[in-house]
A and B are shown apart, each in its own frame.
Chain A
């Protein structure tokens, strides 16, 4: 603590330089916070929720549906505890810009399979009782100002109705929340009943088929064994399956969009490299100017170690203040980004981004502070005081 006034004095020595250096650190970490939030969102959250779920879809391609008849055959596989199914609908609400995922589900089993979707019991009952019923997430309901009892028209892009029209209408019977704020992305979905969808669709669009099955297994460590057993059931049939964990299923989608991780790493690499040069330059400049002062400190009995510590603390303070401010800035602007993009870009900074950011702050502070610190350690008192 007794060194604190020294540290403050060092930072305030050139207020302008300190401020500008800190602001460039802030800019770099603000960018890091935002981009890393995007990266994390694309790599699917590392949560324990859903670890015991498998997704069974067509092996040949995502557009091939599976027969509903597979339901009981999958159920009979050892290790399968529960099963549900769903079908992508891809409906458009008013304008393609309003994109949100919407799909047909088997109401009862789907809600049991996904306990993280929290629906009040009365609304749950209404969903089970209403053939034309639909439920939406809180975030989506807020975005479009929907209330329970509203009729929501969706324009089909894939599945026309029996009469050939594309207009499907659903009754909003429930609004669900999520059990964990990290899963807020799930609140931008609309779910409606598969039986209503299956009866209503044009008979040429393969009624009696589902897009995918979701399966709960009794023990997550048996996932690959159960997945293999399911796929063997249907090997060499007209509709072969590919069973994978829910997280792998999501990841394979993210991977197809592109290597977001690589792009983010590339940009951040350029940013941090520059940052390293910039703060490193400012630090070494500041130490160069203070060589006589450091010599005085040594003369009056500061150990080499204490001087090294002081210099490192200075770079640490610059990085921590600027970096944390930057990440806080990112954290607080991301909600605004969500509103500006009409909910399309809805990411939040997760704890793992904070951890990674703090690690980076520490590493950069060390990389920036160490060379001038060692220089300060090496100065000889006599030379420095003599002005050599």
Chain B
């Protein structure tokens, strides 16, 4: 009963050429699979045709089938590989879905049709400041769309942070309160009241975003929120499908007064058409009375998500690589055991005249099929458990941004890609081992 000794694993230190050849083959295979999986489609299709059409191909299928139908006999060991790979894929998909969701939430808050004006040097609305004179000048700048009463569609906004207890922890968290101008409804056309009504300008009334309503205690219509020691009534809930859903909105003048502010943080304006952004930026930045930065909201919100998504993606990749290594070791262990357990059958096949190639391919096919199943399981579990899962984190305005995990088809595919990669490595070495079993020894060992 030959179980490989260490020599066999490394492909035999005595045969360094073969070992490095195998390692090279694995690296090339993995590299191709992870960089350009689509490039492999044609070879894979050819391979499938070969499997069905040629004698050797049918031999491969026969041997692989033998392996697959005997899986129930090795259920314990096999399910370990399955669960291990499912775990890697699940964690991979969940972490990437978190990054994806955060990015999508902020990205969709911006577009090319609206521009945001901040004080020069400010990296977020919270650290920006514009006085009344500046706000008036900005609203009259060229390129800003006007409504049917010839009023520029621009909203000078006050952005402040309030403390509200989070539903999940009960502890205070920072909530973004945005005081908006009267034109905001024409400016942000994706905003809809889904419950209650709009706030009335001049009153201490707020509407809350759908995300904020879900995350913070007291952010529901009818309840009263204290902003800077004043009572504000929540009168409605709005949806926007983007980062604004994490916010509380009120009338800019009233919010400013509550926080004893006489200025604003930003001006967001609707452009006549996307191309005028350059003209608007030139006009405002060359105005000696102003010190401002002008950018499209797409550029602004794109920047806001960059840092966190980079961190999540980086950490996620490290975690998944380490987990995948662990899973590869597990898969190797199990496949070696499976090959060892079937050495008699394999040796018999070889004695009957089967060549090494079908044996190698069959073992690999079997492991990769197992890995694929594990990958689908992991991806499925991640999708069922996390798609739409709502969380919040500290955004660049120093307040909570509510977002949902976004398990996209691309991420699911990526997860399956990892699974097949693990199966490839986990099956390759044992497959080579199976093919190089000395037939006589294997037959005699029984």
Contacts and interface: CB of A to CB of B under 8 A. Distances in A.
A250 interface: no
Interface stretch (B35-43, B270-278, B389-397): B389-397
A386 interface: no
Interface string A334-349: 0000000100110000
Interface string B208-251: 00000000000000000001110000000000000000000000
A107 to B, nearest CB: 25
A156 B9 contact: no
Nearest to B76: A281
Contacts of A277: 79-80, 83-84
A280 to B, nearest CB: 8
A16 B9 contact: yes
Contact of B174 (A204, A205, A256): A256
A19 B330 contact: no
Interface size on A, as a range, is 35 or more
Interface stretch (B18-26, B143-151, B317-325): B317-325
Interface in B305-364: 311, 314, 318-319, 322-323, 325-327, 329-330, 332-334, 336-337
B171 interface: yes
Contacts of B126: 63
Contacts of B172: 252
B8 interface: yes
Contacts of A17: 3, 333, 336-337
A281 B326 contact: no
Contacts, number: 153
A60 B6 contact: no
Given A60-B228, A158-B127, A28 B326 contact: yes
B336 A16 contact: yes
Contacts of A341: 314
A146 to B, nearest CB: 22
Given A96-B123, A158-B127, A274 B333 contact: no
Contacts of A253: 394
Nearest to A273: B87
Interface in A256-294: 256-259, 266-267, 270-271, 273-275, 277-278, 281-282, 284-285
Given A61-B161, A157-B123, A285 B337 contact: yes
A388 interface: no
A256 B80 contact: no
A281 B332 contact: no
A31 B323 contact: yes
B398 interface: yes
A273 B323 CA distance: 12
A374 B386 CA distance: 39
B141 to A, nearest CB: 19
B5 A16 contact: yes
A278 B80 contact: yes
Nearest to A235: B229
A14 B3 contact: yes
A54 interface: no
Interface in B387-426: 391-394, 398, 400
**Which interface residue of A16, A17, A155 has the most chain B CB atoms within 10 A?**
A16
A344 B310 CA distance: 12
A138 interface: no
Contacts of B392: 258
Contacts of B83: 273-274, 277
Contacts of B325: 23, 27
A342 B5 CA distance: 43
Interface string A196-223: 0000000011000000000000000000
A243 to B, nearest CB: 14
A232 interface: no
Contacts of A20: 329-330, 332-333, 336
Contacts of B87: 270-271, 273-274
B104 interface: no
B117 interface: no
Nearest to A166: B121
Contacts of A266: 94
8 contacts: A20-B333, A24-B329, A59-B163, A157-B122, A204-B131, A256-B394, A273-B83, A341-B314
Interface of B: 3-6, 8-9, 76-77, 79-80, 83-84, 87, 90-91, 94, 119-124, 126-127, 129, 131, 160-163, 168-169, 171-174, 227-229, 259-260, 263, 291, 311, 314, 318-319, 322-323, 325-327, 329-330, 332-334, 336-337, 391-394, 398, 400
Minimum-distance CB pairs A-B, first 3: A27-B326, A166-B121, A24-B329
Given A238-B260, A345-B311, 15 more contacts: A14-B3, A15-B5, A17-B336, A27-B323, A27-B326, A28-B326, A62-B163, A157-B122, A166-B121, A236-B229, A255-B169, A256-B173, A258-B394, A278-B330, A284-B76
